[in-house]
Structures are given as structure tokens and as C-alpha cells.
Amino acid sequence: MAVEFRGFHYADYIVFAITIIISVGIGIYYALAGSKKKTTSEYLVGSRSMKIVPITLSLMVSFESSIMMLGFPAEIYTFGMMFWWGCFGFLFVMLIGARMIVPLIHPLKITSVYQYLDLRFKSRAVRAVGSTLAVLNTILYMGVVLFGPAIALQAVMGFPLVWSMTTVAAASMIYTTIGTMDVGGPSEVFRLGKEGGRLKMFNFSPDPTIRHTFWILVIGMTLRTMGLAVGQASIQRISSTPTKRDAQKVMAMVGPMFFITMTLAMLEGLVAFAYYSKIKCDPMASGQIDNANQIMPLFVLDLFANLPGMPGLFMASLFSASLSTLSSGLSALSAQTVEDYVMPFMSKKSDRVKTILARISVIIYGLLAVATSMIISTVGGNMSQIGFSLMASFVGPASGLILVAALVPFVNHIGALVGVVCGVCITFWLSTGSYLSSSLMKEPILPPAPIDNCPLTNSTLSAYNYTLQSIQKIEDFKNYTPEGIDKVYSVSYLWLGGVAVLIVFVVSSIVSFITGRIKPGETEAIYTVPVFDLFCCCFPDCILKPLRCGVDYSKKIKDDDKYDDVELELDENGGLIRPIIKINSD
């Protein structure tokens, strides 16, 4: 059904190759220059002396991936700008992290966030479960990220998916601006977007089965993306800063920056729709592509058909975004491997041996990411939805585990374990059930752009049929009501992370009361967050006191900014006993 293939110009190959070679060359240079880093602290957290700007940029690019560059524009192209409200969820998570997570984790001077669970619950089982969930989630995330440039290369170069994913593993503002001018200016972009139904952004329905509403995107996305604030990649970076205030500045700066880049990525999708509406030839309806995730690569090829080199630059930026995310994920996994799996059994080995093991683990996890990406390539759908749905079973319960440890002082290790297991099982059941149910009707995409000016080929009739079928599916969906178990499976994929967090909180609290909760005053203040003191500081003490569950936060709040000199007390097997915090007198 495909029409004429428009591939790379030789100039695109040159630009693409040079950019990637420079990027990889920089990495190789610093890998060789940094070979003197003998200790795991130097290798994993830069000896905790990194400056704010490089850490902010590092955290920023670790969040920018092929999911954002391909999945977000594809989402807007096919379903409209409603998804933009989700940007606020990402923003809120970073601001909450600066206010709540940094003061909790940074003073402990730990490398793996799951060391915190060991300290809080005094249980290696809880730490192992949390760490395992994080490893599985990161491998899955890297698989989705690898899938992005692979499918883009298939669209613009004709590369097989397997070779593309292997190449990426081994080794966008300008488009929005120029595309807007080609269409006829911002007003024309929004006019065409409105005509195509892409600007319907104000659905405030409380129905949890609707794919996207204001509440689902703001509240659900906040809960779903809480894993960004408590994830290993973020913790590793804020732990690399010398002071707590520096770490808070990093998180506070990343939030607005990521909000802007996400908005730009979504506007690219709107510009692409306006462009194909203007030329009246929708690439999906006409059969030029068979996957919405290929919209942006094809749009760039069409937009810069007379300017060789620009499509190559786009592909290079896509690869760079994926490489930054992959390197961040691999670094986080190597840190977790050393701290959570190597240290308990090889604590007496030298730092050099541990560093070598960390580097070996990077290769292993990279191969696992390639294998995962090959499996994901068989799953249909938008990249952003694939990522959010599949990872909800791991990142939701993992985030819930850390949050319940920090916010609910009476929860014990048994309650935490049962809660996180229930969270994994239920969300995995919901996410897989939604994908596998043959009777559940999925919300159809919006009608495509016009196809009046598409080249006359054998696929022209099929293109008109595609448009008519799209309109008919929308009408059928309006009259559809899920029945039986499909009512449960129809819950929006963005609620799954929030459902997991809620399950962990409820189940762990109930089980803790049944098995013997931690008594008031037994949980040390350093391991919990005075959430009501932080966000409800105007409440009188008579209300705040019972909400603290017996934890004395008075000294922590007073001396919190001075928790900069910390030593970790370890047992003979390298397990954490407690941090020894020295309060500065100045």
C-alpha cells in the first residue's frame, strides 16, 4: 500500500554520521580520560562534587528520549492537543521532588535509592524487591526508547528494525519554527488544527474510562511520573551535588525546562497535522507510513525536501536523545547492581573490582534492552501509550513503595512487601488485560487530514476507505458501552500508575496494622518526610501533631539544611546499619 519512498540524500547521511561520530567520540574520550576513576563513588556519582548546571543538563537530557520526539507528536497528530495537560504532571513532580524527595534522600549520601528502603524498614527483602522492580522498569523503558529511532530509520532509510535497534544500542525547535512558516504562520496552524478536531482540550469529565481528560492528565500523570522524582537516575544526579540546596535547585530548574520541551514536541505534532492538511495528503491515510510514530521523520523529509542535510540532522538529534536516555538508564542500572547486588556479597573487594563489575553490567543491560526492544516492536500503538502502559506495572508499585516508606511512619516491612506485590499483580493484570481483550473497543484516532492531493495510485481507493472507516469507528465508539470485565479493563492507561500507588498505600497500611505496626516514635525522623508540615504549615500544632504519627520532626526541620557531613555505618557484609549524621555548628 506504500507510495513512492523518499529516502535520505547523501548529505543527510554525512550530517547524520558526523553528528553521531562526534557524540560517540566525546563519550569514548571521557571514558578513556576518566579511566583514573578507581572508586565507585567517582564512577557513579562524581565524588558528590558536581556543579548545578551540568547536573541539570544531564538530568534534563535523560528525560528527553525518542518517546518525547516521536511519541508525543504522534499523540497530538492522531488524538489532538488534550495530551498537553500532562505537561503539568511532569512539572508538579519535579517541584514536589525538590521540596520533598531531595531533603529526604540527599542527607543520607547514598548511591542507590533502594538503600533508603534498607535503612527505613531494616529489611533487605524490601530493598531487593524495590530494586528488582526498578531494574525491570528501566530495561523496559530503554527497550521502548530503542524502538523509537529504529522505527524512524525504517521510515526514512528502509533499515530493518533489528539492525536499527542494534545500531542505536551500540553506539526540535527548528522543525516547529520552519514548519509553521511553511503552513502559513501560527494562526493558520491553529485554524487547521481546530478544523481537524485537534484543539479540543477542555474535557473535565470525571469518568476514569475516558482515555484523556483534564483530571486524568494532571492528577494521573503526576502520580504516574512520580517515578521520575524517586527513580534511580534522578537520585544518582541529586546525590552528585555537594549540598541539599544545590540538589533542590537542579530539580526546580528541570521541571520548567522539561515542560517547555514537552510543549514544543507536542506543537510539532500540531504543525505536522496542519502541514498535511494544507497540502491535502495525509501520510497514514495514503499508506506512506503504517505507524503514527513515523509521522515526524516523514514530516521532516517532506518539509526539507529541497534542503539536504536537515533530515539527517533530525535523525541525529533523535539518536542523541535516545543515546542520552540509554546512557542514563545504563548508568542507573550499574549503580543499582553494585549497591544492591554486589556490595552485600563482595563488600571486602576493592573499589577497582566493583567498578569493573559495574561496567560489565552496562553491557549486559544493554543487550537486554535490545532484546526487549525487539519484543516491543511487535506491539502496536503510540510510543507514549506503549511506554506508559507497560511500565505502569513496575514504576507505579516501585514509586508507591518509596512514597509509603517516606510518608507513612507506621508501615512495617511486611506491610510494604505485601503492598508492593499486590500493586504489581493488579496493575499488570489491568495493563495486559486491556491489551489482550478482544471485546474491548479502544478509543479510535481522530479523522485524518484530507487526501485530495495525494498521488493517484492503486492505494487511492484504500485511502478513502481509511478515512471513512476512521469516521465510522468514532461513531461506533460513541455508542459503545463496555460490559463485564471490560469495564475494569477500560480504565485509562494513565490511571494505572496512580492505581498502583494507591494499592501500595492501602494494602501496606492495613497489613501493617494486622501484623504489628511500627509504634509511634520508633521510626527515625530522618527516614520520613513531614509532609503535612511542608504543605499544610498554616495548620495549628494541635492538628499537625497527630498527623505526624508520633515522629518528632522538630529537630529535623530546624537542622535540615545542615545535614551535609554524613558517614555510613556498614555491617560486615556491606549492609547499611544507619547513617551517622554530623550536624554542623556554623
CA–CA separation, 505 vs 399, rounded Å?
Answer: 11
Other CB atoms within 10 A of residue 361 CB: 19
> Running DSSP on this structure, what letter comes out for residue 83?
G
Residue 335 has pLDDT above 60, yes or no: yes
Average pLDDT over residues 478-499: 88
CA–CA separation, 298 vs 276, rounded Å?
Answer: 11
Packing angle of the helix pair 161-170, 124-156 (nearest 10 deg): 120
pLDDT at 464: 62
Q: What are phi and psi of 4, to 5 degrees?
A: -55, 130
What is the chain's mean pLDDT, rounded? 78
All three cell numbers of 53, joined, read 548546571
Average pLDDT over residues 190-200: 86
pTM (2 decimals)?
0.81
CA–CA separation, 241 vs 109, rounded Å?
Answer: 10
Where does residue 345 rank: exposed (0-12), middle (13-18), buried (19+ CB within 10 A)?
exposed
15-19, 303-307, 562-566: which has the minimum mean pLDDT?
A: 562-566
Looking at residue 356, its amino acid is I
In percent, how much of the chain has pLDDT > 90?
17
Q: What are phi and psi of 353, to 5 degrees?
A: -65, -45
The string of pLDDT tens digits covering residues 312-325 is 877 777 777 777 67
> Running DSSP on this structure, what letter comes out for residue 39?
S
CA–CA separation, 424 vs 497, rounded Å?
Answer: 10
CA–CA separation, 86 vs 224, rounded Å?
Answer: 10
> Which whole-number Å values give the CA distances from 314 to 149, 183, 308, in the listed order?
11, 19, 11
- What CATH topology corresponds to 10-438+479-582? Sodium/glucose cotransporter (1.20.1730)
Residue 573 has pLDDT above 50, yes or no: no
DSSP 175-198: HHHHHHHHHT-HHHHHHHHHHTTT
Domain boundaries, the chain: 10-438+479-582
pLDDT at 28: 60
More confident residue, 475 or 274: 274
CA–CA separation, 291 vs 274, rounded Å?
Answer: 18
Looking at residue 572, its amino acid is E
pLDDT at 41: 47
CA–CA separation, 50 vs 512, rounded Å?
Answer: 40
565 pLDDT band, cuts 50/70/90, is very low
All three cell numbers of 499, joined, read 492505581
Q: Is 75 helix (H, G, I), strand (E, B) or coil?
A: helix
CA–CA separation, 427 vs 16, rounded Å?
Answer: 40
79-83, 160-164, 310-314: which has the minimum mean pLDDT?
A: 160-164
381 pLDDT band, cuts 50/70/90, is low
Q: What are phi and psi of 298, to 5 degrees?
A: -70, -40
16 within 8 A of 312, measured Cβ to Cβ: yes
pLDDT at 179: 53
The string of pLDDT tens digits covering residues 400-458 is 999 999 999 999 999 999 999 999 999 999 988 888 888 888 888 888 888 888 776 55
The string of pLDDT tens digits covering residues 357-375 is 777 887 888 888 888 887 7
pLDDT at 93: 92
Cβ contacts of residue 112 below 8 Å, gap of 6+?
131, 232, 235, 335, 336, 339, 340
pLDDT at 271: 92
